[in-house]
Structure 1
């Protein structure tokens, strides 16, 4: 690592004319510019997470089944790990919103905001793209909304809050040369930080990110901090059986290379009596309920959640097909009699295109003939409403056993 040079993390509003400033700064410092797309690409390559999933997380969009799969937490932890590896190499400028994942405690990281007022951004966008004022306004509002939600998720503050940054560059008042000069002057103040501190901070960040990746396998709302290999895990989400869960955290984290000790503490958002999923539970993680009777299926979803079965709900056949195209699904509970595409057609298409999804028919209008048709099409089971909740969950468990058996073969 180039220890005499700080890492710079630049956030900017779209159409604030920051590209040339960042490029000029990069040339002056002989630094590589790392964009959000670079970080996303690295996580896709190294961790096998889909780009679409990462973009959903950055845009603060809901991930189906996240209460049980913790995909959002894993995405964030993997992005932290990618950032930490860039930092360990040194000589880099982060340009984008993902750089906000760098801990505020890292003393050798300088945070910069480049921004101008909205009217100038609109004019800049119109000049650059040749679009109408209305079209540019919409692009700015969309970009800002994603930035605000993401940065608030990470820091609890507004995106352009000056307290998040060491320096703010008003791009309408400072030209490229003046902007770069101001950043260079501020960066010199960090050059006196000792090599030992810089290396320790980088190593601690990387280890904490590695710990958080492992923690996503056992629960959500878990944050790790490292101090020279001594790990503190903050439990920041409601759960049950706290003492047992703390022991599990310690046991798992102790096995990670570089960890010297492990402790846990309760975060300010902790409450008891919520579900923490463990892979020791033999229940499917991704269940889709398909039924046009909204009250019935919503109540069923709540009853399943009380039994630690995470589910998503759609209300017709087309929504079911669209959902499985977007989201990985393991078990589908499907009604037969629905308007539009009925359950028979959904079952037929699912088994043709996604045969790994186990489909449980749950209907109040079926016959023995319907049952035979469904089983011939590949349904896992055929249940009549009103099905006993224990019968349904037992059937789901057996379906999940089949899924795991197929994965292992």
Structure 2
């Protein structure tokens, strides 16, 4: 049987439709949760961090860590492994966008409805109209960014992306399910030798992509009949050396017979290719109200391949900690508003795993004792030698 991939907006009754299709076909249900769990198992990354790839926006540290790109790569590998296991299945949710167009026995279905219908469905579930509209707006934003990431289209409801588009507010749930069942029986979406090979190509490309990602590289990877093509989208000064390194790594992946590298259409833009060094901290938050000092410090850490973001007051720092994932924080004590000791106290109460280094020009021995009792990793005085600070940050990251 073909594979049904159901992608939908919030409150479009997609779960009800999927349930009918599953009951009628006896197919395997593949949810986002299953794909995320497998991706986490394959990668060793935390499930919550991988699941963030589905949602709009990226970490302020992402340009250094490439965590979102790595998460997407592992999600691709998880989906590819599931497809390669064969058998009838219904893949529903964000994961429904992952199978490539070359796999022709996938029925790509979009389930959508007008805003009022979606609000009505939400209200029946006990959600207020105002809350429903907020959820729908955010959900559509998430789906737009995800679809652009995976399919290259900024419009998640672009009809050219799907074999079947169902306006459930006009068809109803039962008829929507019938339409899917009818199309699943269409010979055009039946498995063929060619489409089964495409699944194996998808699997091999995903294996190569995750292997390269684990070695610090973020590139686009395709495969056809065990021939791998690597596309470099960001400018790099020593292109030949990068191509050689990518080829040598890709050739180590089992099943790869040949490797070709290309530059993508955006290669000559100003965005610079940056390899991730997993031995060096990439999520350092610098908190200091002396703007020139902290910006210069950030630049000096970048020269040592450490990725950092900057906050100029305690309140901003706490907002970043609550919404993002800094690994190490370098924190000043004397700041307007919430001072460093209170910031440290709140961080250690809510995110004890985050390591905090105090860097101050005005602290006393009493301040030092208070900070160390609250759980600070180290207490340093300005001016600090950059090598001393760098080594302290590395040790704090290792401790974390």
Give TM class, smaller chain: 0.7 to 0.9
Residue 196 (str. 1) matches residue 189 (str. 2): no
- In 1, are the aligned partners of 2:6 and 2:14 still within 8 Å (CA)? no
Give the superposition deviation at 1:141.
1.5
- Which of 200, 206, 209 is equivalent to 1:209? 206
Aligned to 2:37: 41
Structure 2: how far apart are the matches of 1:350 and 1:143? 30
- Which of 131, 134, 137 is equivalent to 1:135? 131
1:61-98 per-position Cα deviation (integer Å, ceiling 9, x unaligned): 22242222221111111111111122122311111122
1:175-217 per-position Cα deviation (integer Å, ceiling 9, x unaligned): 4443333323333334675642232111111111111112223
When structure 1 is superposed on structure 2, of 328-337 and 398-407 the one drifting more is 398-407
Q: Aligned ranges for residues 210-229 of structure 1 at < 5 Å? A: 210-219=207-216, 221-229=218-226
Aligned to 2:362: 365
Give the superposition deviation at 1:151.
1.2
Alignment: residue pair count: 394
- In 2, are the aligned partners of 1:284 and 1:396 still within 8 Å (CA)? no
- In 2, are the aligned partners of 1:360 and 1:382 still within 8 Å (CA)? yes
Residue 313 (str. 1) matches residue 310 (str. 2): yes
Give the superposition deviation at 1:129.
1.9
Structure 2: how far apart are the matches of 1:274 and 1:242? 12
When structure 1 is superposed on structure 2, of 144-153 and 321-330 the one drifting more is 321-330
Q: Aligned ranges for residues 270-349 of structure 1 at < 5 Å? A: 270-271=267-268, 274=272, 276-279=274-277, 283-305=280-302, 308-317=305-314, 319-320=316-317, 323=320, 328-344=325-341
Give the superposition deviation at 1:230.
1.4
- In 1, are the aligned partners of 2:327 and 2:397 still within 8 Å (CA)? no
Aligned to 1:82: 78
TM-score w.r.t. the length of structure 2 is: 0.85
Aligned to 1:382: 380
Structure 1: how far apart are the matches of 2:363 and 2:189? 76
Taking structure 1 as reference, are residues 179 and 379 closer, same or farther at Cα in structure 2, changes over 3 Å only?
closer
* Gap runs ≥5 in structure 1: none
Structure 2: how far apart are the matches of 1:17 and 1:192? 24
Residue 239 (str. 1) matches residue 232 (str. 2): no
- In 1, are the aligned partners of 2:66 and 2:276 still within 8 Å (CA)? no
Give the superposition deviation at 1:329.
4.2
* Gap runs ≥5 in structure 2: none
Structure 1: how far apart are the matches of 2:239 and 2:198? 30
Residue 395 (str. 1) matches residue 388 (str. 2): yes
SS at match of 1:198: helix
Give the superposition deviation at 1:331.
3.9
- In 2, are the aligned partners of 1:237 and 1:269 still within 8 Å (CA)? yes
Taking structure 1 as reference, are residues 172 and 96 closer, same or farther at Cα in structure 2, changes over 3 Å only?
same
Residue 117 (str. 1) matches residue 114 (str. 2): yes
Taking structure 1 as reference, are residues 351 and 94 closer, same or farther at Cα in structure 2, changes over 3 Å only?
closer
- In 2, are the aligned partners of 1:292 and 1:338 still within 8 Å (CA)? yes
Structure 1: how far apart are the matches of 2:132 and 2:262? 46
Q: Aligned ranges for residues 8-157 of structure 1 at < 5 Å? A: 8-89=4-85, 90-126=87-123, 128-157=124-153
Residue 165 (str. 1) matches residue 162 (str. 2): yes
- In 2, are the aligned partners of 1:65 and 1:312 still within 8 Å (CA)? yes
- In 1, are the aligned partners of 2:372 and 2:378 still within 8 Å (CA)? no
- In 2, are the aligned partners of 1:229 and 1:259 still within 8 Å (CA)? yes
Taking structure 1 as reference, are residues 344 and 145 closer, same or farther at Cα in structure 2, changes over 3 Å only?
closer
Aligned to 2:246: 249
Give the superposition deviation at 1:289.
0.4
CA RMSD of aligned residues (A): 3.2
Structure 2: how far apart are the matches of 1:151 and 1:78? 17
Structure 2: how far apart are the matches of 1:404 and 1:140? 38
Structure 1: how far apart are the matches of 2:264 and 2:243? 13
- In 1, are the aligned partners of 2:329 and 2:354 still within 8 Å (CA)? no
- In 2, are the aligned partners of 1:333 and 1:359 still within 8 Å (CA)? yes
